[in-house]
Amino acid sequence: MPTASKVSQVIGALGLGLVTILYVALLLIPWIYTCGLSSGPVWISNPKTWTELPRGVEPINVDYMADYDKAIKTMNTITSIMAIPVVYAVVQRAASVGSQSKRNLWDNAALSWLSVILIINTLILPPIRTLVVSHETIKVPTAFLEQGIAALDATPPMLEMVSENGVVEKVKHGLINSQEFDRHPLLWHEGGLASDVVTPTLGGFRPANEPDVMDLFHQRLFVSSVPKLDTGYYRSHSLQMKSLPDCKPIVQFPSGCSGPRPFARVFESPNTLVTVCVPGASGRSPWTDTSQDRLEIKEDLFIRMVRNVLTGDVRNPSQIRHQKTYHCTATTTRGYFELPNYFNEGKVGPLLNTLPKLGPGVLEGHYLDVNPDRDVPLGSPDFIQNFTTDPFLALRPTDPLDIAPGPLMISAQALFGNQTWFHTLAQAFVNDTVPSNRSIPRLNALETLQVVCLENNMPLARFSAFPPAELVISDRRMSKECQSVLAPRSRQEDRITEQQAAVKLENMMNDFLAVFERGPNTTLWTAMVLANEAVLQAATQDKTLARKVFVDMGRPMSNKPVLTKGALVGVSLLVAFQVLGLVVLAAYLMIGSFEPAWFMKKFAGEEGLWDGKKGGMGEHDEEPLRDLSTLAASERR
């Protein structure tokens, strides 16, 4: 029968073992959760990082982070309180068990050092863990149904469904009303950031003492139908169009305007002659390939400007005081770029040669536009319901020859085509040929001047001039020329004649030509930006056909643990040593408490002595301990 002391010894060992197990559990669980939550959610079966969750994080799980943090801090506090008593009790019990052997196993150096280091580790672990673990607030993907549509994007096939008349009217309206400092949210800057505060502008004409060369900033601007935004946790691409003109003076204007449907216009007055030619085909799309690959087209424009003729014979070369002829070549590139998002650090992606082909190792769940099998969110009903079409733009032209051409052709029609300011002024003069080969003014010059002044629709008239004394294309000059024709009826005697009205119309045209001659690249670049904006916007007017751009800006989640690699490795080693040391000592004392004979035989080397005493003592435990002490004392003597 076991004695009372033996039963008490066993109960004490079991109790200490259970407390040690509880301490180890409270030590490991919060640290494991801290390490897990620092990189991703721990509640899903296939753990991923916080940014690799296409399905998003449910709001309830975001709220759970506060509960996880509270539970971790509570368990860490409990372990800090339990650490010293538990470790001291285990070490003390192990020393007591070891002292029962003849050789006093507690004097073993390895076991002694283990106990000392374990106590030191117990003291330093809680403060180190507190110091190296910080917390931050991050944005995590939102729940699937909370993601929405932020914009509509054009596709290459839809560009062939845009009406030419609509976009020309849109560009014409933009040239009349735009100012150089207007913000254009559809203008993007290559390599820019979504967080850039300043939205690009059209800019203006360069100073008179500088050449008309597009600066590097404007050379890197392109147009997209998606306004400046960050798609957050979604990765999406958008179609872009970028046009750059290059105008150079030439000697000879071409004898003919080539192409199946070229654009050609002439303004001829006694002292001014303007001839415009854009070879090619209006009403036809220049994009013969509807693929998603990068494409490039080139367009040409020729313009001849004759001004300040001596005798009013604009056709007589000997009488011409000023003549300038330009050949402008415009290069337009179309392709896709990646919109700013959290994965590319909010940067505007470069123009891609083709859309990426996703492999199994890519986060294809985030690419909505290149993964047709991907489930898409329901979107934002408000965006679709509030979407309004542009009155100037229309899809699906009824006339097969009414398809939007290239941006340079559109720009030329908006500057010089029918129903433009240029066309209105040209109608004031008739090309009746007389023996002197002169153009004579029409009798409705005054009426034309009145229309021009009332409509006030000179292109780029609201752009500043550099300096105003040289480039007087502004509301001030328009007011000067229109002052007499807009006078009240009480001052009819001050009104001008037809001949005077014709002169004023010529002056207006010369002002416009002076600005164009001063900045042909600036003028055409401005017009082509507006043309690209109009085409891409027109391609998104049908919300059922346009590609939706989804955004997921994330949901703020606080109390996320932050661990460096060094902190992770260091604290993990301290925790592992703490657990391993306690396990070794606990096993040592448990074996010594339940199986003393086996324990002494294996660890103390007293097999023969224990066996010799065991037969005479029967079932009593205390006597062998006394005999061992007596024997040890006699041997020392």
**353 is written with which tokens?**
């040669």
Q: Which amino acid is at 343?
A: F
- pLDDT for position 375: 47
Using CA atoms, how far apart are residues 472 and 512, in angstroms rounded to an integer?
Answer: 8
**568 is written with which tokens?**
């992770």
CA dihedral of residues 68, 70, 75, 76 (deg, nearest 10): 110
Degrees (nearest 5) of the Cα angle 48, 49, 52?
Answer: 80
- Beta strands in 310-396, from DSSP E residues, in sequence order: 320-338
At 559, the pLDDT band (50, 70, 90 cuts) reads confident
* Number of other residues whose CB lies within 10 A of the CB of residue 214: 17
Mean pLDDT, the chain, rounded, equals 76
For 492, what's the count of Cα atoms within 13 Å in the CB-facing half-sphere? 2
Summarize the confidence of residues 317-321 as an average pLDDT: 68
Buried b (16+ CB within 10 A) or exposed e, 608-627: ebbeebeeeeeeeeeebeeb
Q: 16: helix, coil or strand?
A: helix
C-alpha 613: how far from chain center: 83
**199 is written with which tokens?**
């939205």
| Cut 0.75: pTM above it | no
Q: Looking at residue 206, what DSSP letter applies? A: P
Degrees (nearest 5) of the Cα angle 242, 245, 249?
Answer: 175
At 451, the pLDDT band (50, 70, 90 cuts) reads confident
Residue 621 clears pLDDT 70, i.e. is over it:
no
Tokens 């854009």 locate to 278
Any residues with CB less than 8 A from the CB of 26 and at least 6 apart, and which? 75, 78, 79, 82
Sign of the dihedral defined by the CA atoms of residues 615, 619, 620, 624, in that order: positive
Summarize the confidence of residues 493-515 as an average pLDDT: 80
More confident residue, 496 or 624: 496
Q: Looking at residue 203, what DSSP letter applies? A: -
Closest listed residue to residue 495, CA positions, set 483, 485, 508: 485
Using CA atoms, how far apart are residues 606 and 589, in angstroms rounded to an integer?
Answer: 17
pLDDT above 70: percentage of residues in the chain: 66
Q: pLDDT for 564-595, tens place per residue?
A: 889 999 999 999 999 988 888 877 777 666 65
Lowest mean pLDDT segment, chosen from 119-133, 225-239, 519-533:
225-239
Q: What are phi and psi of 415, to 5 degrees?
A: -90, -40
Summarize the confidence of residues 484-504 as an average pLDDT: 68
Q: In a 10 Å sphere around its CB, with 0-12 CB exposed, 13-18 middle and 19+ buried, how is residue 426 labelled?
A: buried
**107 is written with which tokens?**
């004097």
Closest listed residue to residue 554, CA positions, set 402, 329, 422, 366: 366
Using CA atoms, how far apart are residues 314 and 318, in angstroms rounded to an integer?
Answer: 9
The string of DSSP letters for 493-531 reads: GG---HHHHHHHHHHHHHHHHHHHHH-HHHHHHHHHHHH
Q: What are phi and psi of 553, to 5 degrees?
A: -80, -5
- pLDDT for position 143: 55
At 435, the pLDDT band (50, 70, 90 cuts) reads very low
Q: pLDDT for 102-130, tens place per residue?
A: 444 444 566 677 778 888 888 899 999 88
Q: Looking at residue 199, what DSSP letter applies? A: P
Q: Which strands sit side by side in the sheet containing 263-268, from one edge to the other?
A: 187-189, 221-224, 237-249, 320-338, 295-309, 273-278, 263-268
Using CA atoms, how far apart are residues 169 and 241, in angstroms rounded to an integer?
Answer: 19
